[in-house]
Structure 1
Amino acid sequence: MKLVVAISMALSGLLTYLLSGPGSAFEIALKNGGSFEVSEVRWGDKLEKYTANIMAPVCEEGICYNVNVTFNWNLIGEFIDYQVQPYDPLTKLDHKPFTLADYAKLQSILTNHDLIFTGMNAEELVVETAEAAVDGYSGATIEAIRDEVIDGALFTCHTLWHVANGAVVDSIRSHTQGRLDKYLIGRIVKYNTASAHYYLINNLSDEQFAQNLPEIIDLVRNGKGYFPKNAIEKIPENLFAGKEMQDFLVQNYDSLSYYTQVAALNKLQKVPLQSKLVEKLLPEISDRNSAQNQKIITLIIKNNDQASIQKLMDLLIEKKIKLSKENYQLLQELRVERLGSIEKI
């Protein structure tokens, strides 16, 4: 295990060396004073990640020192890994250098967002305990977080976690957004994480949605939880008029969650429907889902295709489905026959 950690850290450092950085992208202020510059890391002319050399002040029990590390983040500000300088290793409170196990644990800490101690202020991390062998009081790590941190390096862990996951994250996300192109969007898609996919749907322009619609549709098709619904809501309305989106709905409507279906029906309200989509939606009208029924009925009426409206009327009468006041009025305006056979909600 120790050998694997050592090799991993060495390879990561080598890769950072081989990649080229054009200079500072922006600067981040440190909470305890000072600042650090974040640079783009490029492979050729392609932005790959971000890096920064960190000299962060850490104080433990009245003893202050700087930790000297290099941090790396991906394109959406998620912490990747770190390297230490061979001549300046990390040390603990008793000046003992970190072991390989300590370095591995620090990597785990910096990439973990479910730790108790990261939500605490520095002064809350220790309790004062009287010790006969010590003149005065000595700080002891509170029991609830003892297993989360490295023994003897509590404040190093706390400081570095907040550097890695603090203000720099939003700055990276903003910086990447200003440089989004086909290549970067493809790279972020391949992260294959919910956070990456949410980043895309929240930051793409209407034009970028259109240019990358096949990739976005794949994300919707394979998305989990509420992501498909949220993605549908973010896709510009005009794209729902196109064959690509409507073909997707024809092929996948049944597999979408109820809330995703409703989001799609809302986006279709102001666009013309292709005949295949109308044929797909008609059988979805049932006596068990009045809210969704009315949205589909509205779509078919507004599409104003006489053949589809006649099929709709057949279905409403056969299944004894009531109409909303608004849909009843729309059919009245179209002078649809047999309307007297339909009840209003």
Structure 2
Amino acid sequence: MRTIYLVMVAFLALLFTDKSAKRHLQQSKNKIKHHIKVHHPGKGQNNIEDAVLVEVKGKNNLPESYYMDVESVICYENLCKIVPVRIVWNTIGEYQKYELAKGVALEKYEGEPYTEEDYSKTQKILLDNNSPFKSIRIDEILTTVKSHDIVDAVAGETLLELNEEDTVDGASLTCYTLWHWAHGAVVDKIRDITAANFSSKEYVAYLNSGNLQKQLFAITQLENQKVYTKNVVEAVKKQTLVNDQLIRSSVQYLEKSNSSVYLSTLKTFVTKGNSKLKIAVLNSLLHSNLELTSTYLADMSLILSAEVTYQEMSLFLRLLQKNNAAVTKEVLNKLMPLLQKDILISRNVYWFLQDKNLNAAQKAKLKSFASKYKDQL
């Protein structure tokens, strides 16, 4: 009977150990340690140190978040209380939160403990991408107090005057240290790791997410990796047509593509886009090295609607002048009605048409315009 009991105990122990091992293995698979080298501005210009960035995997084995354990404060004289703080980022390197181990607390100058309000305020400061700490040097925060030739304290109040909401009173150095961990060089490391895990499918999902920062991240990485598959370009096109904040990045991305993708997509932007997008397209075409065909210029002349703005008109005329040999009679004919627009636009059209090969009727309209506005030409 005793033998059976011992066998059962051993079996249960083995079963429990096996489950624990599997659970540990699963946790290990969900977290990948990346040994990186990072620079913190508070540690000197040339100081590069080793750090461990942990990537947390989610569904489909894709990155879900990242975290790194850092020092709460930089203190050269080793007189500050330094505790570990965990900084957490999302998949594109945006700071999310900070965490402290159980029983660990932050302290302010002269050992005063953090209050609940201080913890909340620190979180608010760290969430601010444009915090004043972005441009403050550590030597503008550090102060050294001496008494009887002994250094008594380091890292007092900042020598600069900060608004009350921009720092925790008595903990400016902690705020400075943590802000630069949260928004420093590690952000680029995170973005690189996420990009290395992504295929065009994930990029399209980010483009269609409605999240501006994810969309900009996707476009930047697609440009870096020179990805111009049909589904990706269509997603970029679709989102750019409805979001002006993507225009600059999208046009820059398309400028690195082949001429076919570049020209066809920009033509769609002119056909369906608003004035801001049309202006970006015309500027891009104007500064490209491509020679535009007469057919393409004729298609682009769709911009010459009744609602054409002065800036659009000016850029389009410069584009025509640059590709003068490809300007067709069709395009010239579409320009003639613009002599009836306001004087700023019509005068530009008149000057452009001066040396063009016009038919008799067009020359007559040009002469009539010159006679009517001779004092403004």
TM-score (structure 2 length as normaliser)? 0.65
CA contact (8 A) 2:55 2:66 kept: yes
User: How far is the alpha carbon of 1:250 from its aligned partner?
Assistant: 1.4
Corresponding residue for residue 8 of structure 1: none
d(CA) in 2 for partners of 1:129 and 1:99?
25
d(CA) in 2 for partners of 1:141 and 1:287?
51
User: How far is the alpha carbon of 1:20 from its aligned partner?
Assistant: 6.3
- C-alpha change, 1:210 and 1:299, in structure 2 (3 Å) is farther
User: How far is the alpha carbon of 1:149 from its aligned partner?
Assistant: 1.9
Corresponding residue for residue 217 of structure 1: 237
What are the within-5 Å matches in structure 2 for residues 324-339 of structure 1?
none
1:314 counterpart (333, 336, 341): 333
The DSSP-based 3-state class of the residue aligned with 1:52 is: strand
- C-alpha change, 1:297 and 1:253, in structure 2 (3 Å) is farther
Percent identity for Structure 1 against Structure 2: 18
Corresponding residue for residue 79 of structure 1: 95
d(CA) in 2 for partners of 1:81 and 1:271?
54
Corresponding residue for residue 119 of structure 1: 135
Higher strand share: 1
Partner letter of residue 262 of structure 1?
A: N
User: How far is the alpha carbon of 1:47 from its aligned partner?
Assistant: 1.6
The DSSP-based 3-state class of the residue aligned with 1:106 is: helix
Corresponding residue for residue 295 of structure 1: 319
User: How far is the alpha carbon of 1:258 from its aligned partner?
Assistant: 2.8
d(CA) in 1 for partners of 2:253 and 2:175?
38
Partner letter of residue 165 of structure 1?
A: H
- C-alpha change, 1:135 and 1:234, in structure 2 (3 Å) is closer
1:165 counterpart (159, 183, 187): 183
- C-alpha change, 1:271 and 1:216, in structure 2 (3 Å) is farther
User: How far is the alpha carbon of 1:324 from its aligned partner?
Assistant: 8.0
What are the within-5 Å matches in structure 2 for residues 160-239 of structure 1?
160-186=178-204, 188-189=206-207, 190=209, 192-193=211-212, 195-204=213-222, 205-208=225-228, 210-224=230-244, 227-235=246-254, 236=257, 237-239=259-261
The DSSP-based 3-state class of the residue aligned with 2:162 is: helix
- C-alpha change, 1:36 and 1:130, in structure 2 (3 Å) is closer
Structure 2: runs of 5 or more not aligned = 1-25, 340-348, 368-377
Q: Does 1:106 align with 2:122?
A: yes
2:167 counterpart (140, 149, 154): 149
CA contact (8 A) 1:294 1:324 kept: no
d(CA) in 2 for partners of 1:206 and 1:337?
47
C-alpha RMSD of matched pairs (Å): 4.4
What are the within-5 Å matches in structure 2 for residues 16-27 of structure 1?
21-27=30-36
2:56 counterpart (8, 25, 41): 41
d(CA) in 2 for partners of 1:30 and 1:222?
39
Structure 1: runs of 5 or more not aligned = 1-16
Higher helix share: 2
Q: Give CA-to-partner distance per residue, 1:250-301, whole Å, 9 cap, x none.
A: 1225463534443356668547857994562354798953442242576796
- C-alpha change, 1:21 and 1:210, in structure 2 (3 Å) is same
CA contact (8 A) 1:71 1:81 kept: yes
What are the within-5 Å matches in structure 2 for residues 5-24 of structure 1?
21-24=30-33
- Stretch deviating more after TM superposition (268-277 or 174-183): 268-277
Q: Does 1:28 align with 2:52?
A: no
Partner letter of residue 272 of structure 2?
A: Q
CA contact (8 A) 2:244 2:277 kept: no
d(CA) in 1 for partners of 2:108 and 2:76?
9
CA contact (8 A) 1:188 1:196 kept: yes
- C-alpha change, 1:293 and 1:154, in structure 2 (3 Å) is same
- C-alpha change, 1:314 and 1:115, in structure 2 (3 Å) is closer
d(CA) in 2 for partners of 1:183 and 1:164?
29
d(CA) in 1 for partners of 2:308 and 2:139?
61
Partner letter of residue 22 of structure 1?
A: K
CA contact (8 A) 1:40 1:49 kept: yes
User: How far is the alpha carbon of 1:94 from its aligned partner?
Assistant: 4.0
Partner letter of residue 233 of structure 2?
A: L
Partner letter of residue 101 of structure 1?
A: E
CA contact (8 A) 1:71 1:164 kept: yes
d(CA) in 2 for partners of 1:286 and 1:90?
60
